[in-house]
Structure 1
Amino acid sequence: MATALPVADAAQVRRYARALARRHPGALACALALHALAAAAGLAGPRLLGDLVEGVSRGDRSTPVDAIVLAIAGFVVAQSVLLRFAHIASARLGERVLAALREEFVDRILALPLATVERAGTGDLLTRTTRDVSALSRTVRLAVPETLIAVVTAAFVLGALLLVGPLLVLPCLVAVPVLVVGTRWYLRRATDGYLRENAAYSDITDGISEAVEGSRTTEALRQQARRRARTDADIRRSYAAERYTLWLRTVFFPLTEIGYLVPMVATLVVGGWFYLEGWVNLGQVTAATLYTQQLIEPVDRLLAWLDELQVGGASLARLLGVATPDGPDAARSAPDGSRPSPVDGAEPAGGLGSGRVAVREVTFAYWEGRDVLHGVTLVPEPGEKLAMVGPSGAGKSTLGRLLAGVHTPRTGSVTVDGRPLTGLPLTELRRHVALVTQEHHVFIGTLRENVAMVRPSATDADLRAALAAVDALDWAEALPDGLGTRVGAGGHPLTAAQAQQLALARLVLADPHTLVLDEATSLIDPRAARHLERSLAAVLEGRTVIAIAHRLFSAHDADRVAVVEGGRITELGSHTELLARGGSYADLWRSWHGPRP
């Protein structure tokens, strides 16, 4: 069962939002200034109209009606122009912030320990990279600028209302308790509600992905009903989560409607009473009523976008949570960049050292209380070719992934030159150890780009040498455009065997100290695979190679063979030595190859 990636807490989200604002002080100040000027221009109309009404009510024939009307029109035009440029400035700022968010999210995804990605499954990551990014995009592009506009406009309108007459602000206070209580009630529930909604959507995506990818297996085992039941259950949870957030909105929005409509009525009634008492004049009541009406629009906008801000905040928390340390495999992602202290006589940091990888007294469990490795110790010699063999489910691949730094041991240590593997930055780790499995990905791009991705500075001669080392140069040069042929989705199709050779060519070009090959040639014809492994051995002379395979010719060609059974290394020695012992390895060899050594 997949384990959801962590979610950042509210404090982390606020810190990140403040940091984003500090990155663009000039652009933010410009956008706010333009909105402030637009709001100020919009305040002139009600004040001028109030003065006009007051002059007419007193019978003052000297009131410049034409000039006041022209001034009001001028301020309306000025406000329109300022709003245009204010919206452009806000949009530009939003796009810059959104671009930075996307780039950082990609960096966070690529820096995740592989074990964390595997535990999370595809559904959670896919939802965060699509639905959450889309929701955050809407928030950054629309909700944040609209909210800033609403806040600035409301502040200016309230200031203008105070200048017209402090007493006329009192009717607006009638709405404060309704809005404060309603908003607090909503905010306490909305964030958790939207987080549950997004998590439920992740479950749906994960379930559908599994159903599509495993459709043939499902059909062969007649498990269609079970898959449908899983999908129905996921949809029910998603429906319940969305229904909850919908209920929040159906309660909150009517409250806000009351909260910002009551003040205008109260201003007319109370303002009329104040006028009859002689505390204010008719022009002040007129201006105050218009300002109160103007106040409705930014408050309405603010409360309307508040819901979108909650959606965006939940999405941002999920995106930031991708980089939040979670469990033992997250050591490499520590926020302060710290690494565990060297052990076992580590060499000083600064050089790569000899690249000696060592596993000492390691236990490991995918699930608590169910160890799959039990006190394993294995120390390959630098430059040695070590083969790991054993029955399926014995723990070979798990041990290989520990050697490659993918997983963190429950107890014991896995080190390179005495330094814990999982404490190394990912880029440095891959200079020490690289893992190649039978699962390979061909990226969209040219063949040249696919091979050179591990070393972008590599020349074509380097790429051809790497391809030749894995017996791939002939078919690579036979492609329509040679190294420039586009491959991957929509490009020239590669066979599974060619994709595997491509992955091995990347490995040759990366040139790490230690290579862990987990059935890396399983998709290639056995005879060609043996030739390929011997070619690789010649090219990688001096590098430590740990080969995990069911094909025992890899063991025959190795310097030493480790037999893994039941999560333990039961035998360790050369091919000849282990055959002479007549133990588990000898039995495996005879069953695979026959009685002849």
Structure 2
Amino acid sequence: MTTGPRTPDDPTRLPIADAPATRRAIWNLLAHDRRAMAVVITLTGLAAAAGLATPRLVGAIVDRIEAGTDTTTLDLLGVALLGFAIAQFLLNRFARYAAHRFGERILARLREQFVQRTLALPTDVVEKAGPGDLLTRSSADVDTVGATLRDVGPGVVLAVAQILFVLAAIALLDPLLGLCVFAATPALLLIMRWYLRRARTAYLAEGAANSTMAEALAATADGAATVESFRLQNQRIDEGNRQVATVYNARKRTLFLRSVLFPVMDFSYGIPLAVVLLIGGLRHVEGAIGLGTVIAASLYVLQLSDPLDELLEHMEFLQRSTAALARIEGVGAVTESPRPHRTAAPTDDSIDVVAVRHAYRDDHDVLHDVDLTVRPGERLALVGPSGAGKSTLGRLLAGIDAPRAGSITVGGVPIAELTPDERRRRVLLVTQEHHVFLGTLRDNLAIAAPHADDDTLYAALHAIDAHWATELPAGLDTEVNTTALRLDAAQSQQIALARVILADPNTVILDEATAMLDPTTARHAERALAAVLEGRTVIAIAHRLHTAHDADRVAVLEAGSITELGDHDTLLAADGAYAALWRSWHGVAGTTEISSAPILTSTRHELSG
């Protein structure tokens, strides 16, 4: 998919599909159910055709009266007039009903497609884009497109059909009067060209402003405690006011476009009617056409006003909807971008980090020429002071972020060339952050193993001592995080750890995965994990140094570089940075017994203890 450039002042924002890609998306949505689309078009055409009878019959009645015909003929024409009116009403109803159903099915496919693309977005892309942009696209933009498909679309289709049929009817009635209908065409083309050249950019700018405002408000709400603690209320209010002002200015721009378009269009409606009456009257005086023809042509021109009004009314919404669809399709540009072609499969689970540099900002590297090899089955601890780059390196090893320079390979294959599913099977990052989705406990566990049976799910829960799950009234089918059952932090973290067991990765990166648990629960969970992780490669980002004590090797990071690498005893004997950290940690902990068992302790050590 070809996309336009990202917003210049925010290069991290999700891309926006360009006009050709948006048109292809519209056609793909409509063409997915061609039979239903054919039914809608047929019913709409018949409804528009039925509406053509009224002016023609009125003109015939005028001609018969002028010619002095009998009342029987007039009665028959009146009955025919009533019959066509009823037929038009019924066909209009069925056409709109079919169009609504067609639109709802398209909207359902669009929502499903958007959810799939959103879930497939790389984590780093979501984090850089921020919640506001994605939230606006998934809510306001999808709702806008949905309203078009459900409400605006059927009316627009019928209006277009009516306009085309009326123009054809006038031309058949009298070619010269048919040409008179186009008297206002130059003015209409000029105003439409002026409007359309500016509308897409204006509505995209309005959508971007809405996203930025939503993100600013969400950031203030999420960080309410921090805002209050540091007395940042005035700053956040000022920021909110600035974003509201930006949205206000963007909406003023689109309002200006409408304020020019609508009056010109309204004025243009009267021009064709005046010309038809003038030319038609002159030709009737000359005897070229009958009075009924002039009246029928005038009624046809008047009949154009309703569909033109509907198009005018929905023109602004169609532009807004097109801009919204471009933003929705922009998400697909990320998930459908070409992936590097992998020429070979990983030979093993070894991880090689070569001269890796990484920066969150272009002018500031947080990792500097990191070299590291993680052997299959090894227990490696990453330690260092806060801000040294431990969590950043963990994200790179898991393939969540890509290094600015250097390479990270798994079994000799660059981790970027692995598919998301294959990457998760080989390397999985577990952090303090966790999320339990609305739904059943089974749904939350099946995220990691969609085809797992109940026994497997319960076994994973038992492995991390989540015995509370067996006591739930509906078992695995219990709705969680609802008024019926709201999980606490410890239970939510246990579900996250159970997903790790179910995912069964070859390499696990633990970034304080049990930090949210109370000491007693953490002790059981870490012992259970120690057994589960036996035989796997484990990389533990150790904020508590007891984790590093039993690691096979310890890598010390300082200021974004690995300064020491070796086992615990060797690094203590070297009396370097690790020894200083160890002494500092013990100086705080004293001789107090460590409350939780080391994650990196092997099963052999666990049994011998």
In 2, are the aligned partners of 1:2 and 1:121 still within 8 Å (CA)?
no
The answer to whether residue 256 in structure 2 is matched with residue 256 in structure 1 is no
Q: 1:593 to 1:484 in 2, by over 3 A?
A: farther
Alignment of 1:260-299 (within 5 A): 260-299=269-308
Alignment of 1:405-420 (within 5 A): 405-420=399-414
- How high is the TM-score relative to the length of structure 2? 0.92
Question: Which residue in the other structure is 2:605 paired with?
Answer: none
Given candidates 570, 581, 585, the residue that maps to 1:588 is 581
In 2, are the aligned partners of 1:2 and 1:119 still within 8 Å (CA)?
no
1:335 alignment partner, SS class: coil
Question: Which residue in the other structure is 2:470 paired with?
Answer: 477
* 1:516-557 Cα deviation digits (max 9, x unpaired): 111211112456535533321211222111111211111112
Alignment of 1:137-156 (within 5 A): 137-156=146-165
Aligned-partner residue type, residue 401 of structure 2: H
The answer to whether residue 426 in structure 2 is matched with residue 439 in structure 1 is no
The structural deviation recorded for 1:479 is 4.2
Question: Which residue in the other structure is 2:337 paired with?
Answer: 335
Alignment of 1:25-424 (within 5 A): 25-61=34-70, 64-325=73-334, 333-336=335-338, 338-342=339-343, 348-349=344-345, 353-424=347-418
In 2, are the aligned partners of 1:52 and 1:63 still within 8 Å (CA)?
no
Given candidates 552, 565, 584, the residue that maps to 1:572 is 565
In 2, are the aligned partners of 1:127 and 1:202 still within 8 Å (CA)?
yes
* 1:378-426 Cα deviation digits (max 9, x unpaired): 2211111211111111111111001111111111112222222223322
Which shifted more, 565-574 or 352-361?
Answer: 352-361
The structural deviation recorded for 1:582 is 1.2
Q: Distance in 1 between matches of 2:353 and 2:520?
A: 32
Question: Which residue in the other structure is 2:538 paired with?
Answer: 545
Aligned-partner residue type, residue 418 of structure 1: G
Question: Which residue in the other structure is 2:504 paired with?
Answer: 511
Which shifted more, 62-71 or 152-161?
Answer: 62-71
The structural deviation recorded for 1:34 is 0.4
- How high is the TM-score relative to the length of structure 1? 0.93
Alignment of 1:8-19 (within 5 A): 8-19=17-28
Q: Distance in 1 between matches of 2:477 and 2:58?
A: 71
Question: Which residue in the other structure is 2:483 paired with?
Answer: 490
> How many percent identity over aligned positions?
50
Given candidates 465, 468, 476, the residue that maps to 2:462 is 468
The structural deviation recorded for 1:367 is 0.9
Q: 1:448 to 1:58 in 2, by over 3 A?
A: closer
Given candidates 547, 557, 565, the residue that maps to 2:550 is 557
Over aligned residues, Cα RMSD in angstroms?
Answer: 1.9
* 1:2-25 Cα deviation digits (max 9, x unpaired): 932111111110011111222111
Aligned-partner residue type, residue 195 of structure 2: Y
Aligned-partner residue type, residue 417 of structure 2: G
1:551 alignment partner, SS class: coil
Question: Which residue in the other structure is 2:599 paired with?
Answer: none
The structural deviation recorded for 1:266 is 2.0
* 1:25-70 Cα deviation digits (max 9, x unpaired): 1111110000101111111121122122122223344881111111
Q: Distance in 2 between matches of 1:144 and 1:481?
A: 44
2:130 alignment partner, SS class: helix
In 2, are the aligned partners of 1:443 and 1:489 still within 8 Å (CA)?
no
The structural deviation recorded for 1:583 is 1.0
1:405 alignment partner, SS class: coil
Aligned-partner residue type, residue 488 of structure 1: N
Question: Which residue in the other structure is 1:345 paired with?
Answer: none
Aligned-partner residue type, residue 340 of structure 2: R
The structural deviation recorded for 1:171 is 2.0
Q: Distance in 2 between matches of 1:295 and 1:504?
A: 66
Aligned-partner residue type, residue 386 of structure 1: L
Q: Distance in 2 between matches of 1:468 and 1:558?
A: 26
Q: Distance in 2 between matches of 1:202 and 1:232?
A: 15
In 1, are the aligned partners of 2:357 and 2:366 still within 8 Å (CA)?
yes
In 2, are the aligned partners of 1:530 and 1:553 still within 8 Å (CA)?
no
Alignment size in residue pairs: 581
Aligned-partner residue type, residue 429 of structure 1: R
In 2, are the aligned partners of 1:172 and 1:267 still within 8 Å (CA)?
yes
Q: Distance in 2 between matches of 1:375 and 1:489?
A: 48
* 1:99-133 Cα deviation digits (max 9, x unpaired): 00000000111010000100111111111111111
* 1:136-176 Cα deviation digits (max 9, x unpaired): 11111122222111111111111111110000012211110
1:538 alignment partner, SS class: helix
* 1:435-471 Cα deviation digits (max 9, x unpaired): 1111111112232332232112222221222122223
Q: Distance in 2 between matches of 1:436 and 1:504?
A: 8
Q: Distance in 1 between matches of 2:465 and 2:566?
A: 30
Q: Distance in 1 between matches of 2:497 and 2:553?
A: 22
Q: 1:478 to 1:415 in 2, by over 3 A?
A: same
* 1:186-231 Cα deviation digits (max 9, x unpaired): 1111111111111111122111111111111111111111001100
Q: Distance in 2 between matches of 1:322 and 1:60?
A: 68
Q: 1:546 to 1:269 in 2, by over 3 A?
A: same
In 1, are the aligned partners of 2:368 and 2:560 still within 8 Å (CA)?
yes
Question: Which residue in the other structure is 1:329 paired with?
Answer: none
1:494 alignment partner, SS class: coil
Aligned-partner residue type, residue 163 of structure 1: L
In 2, are the aligned partners of 1:340 and 1:420 still within 8 Å (CA)?
no
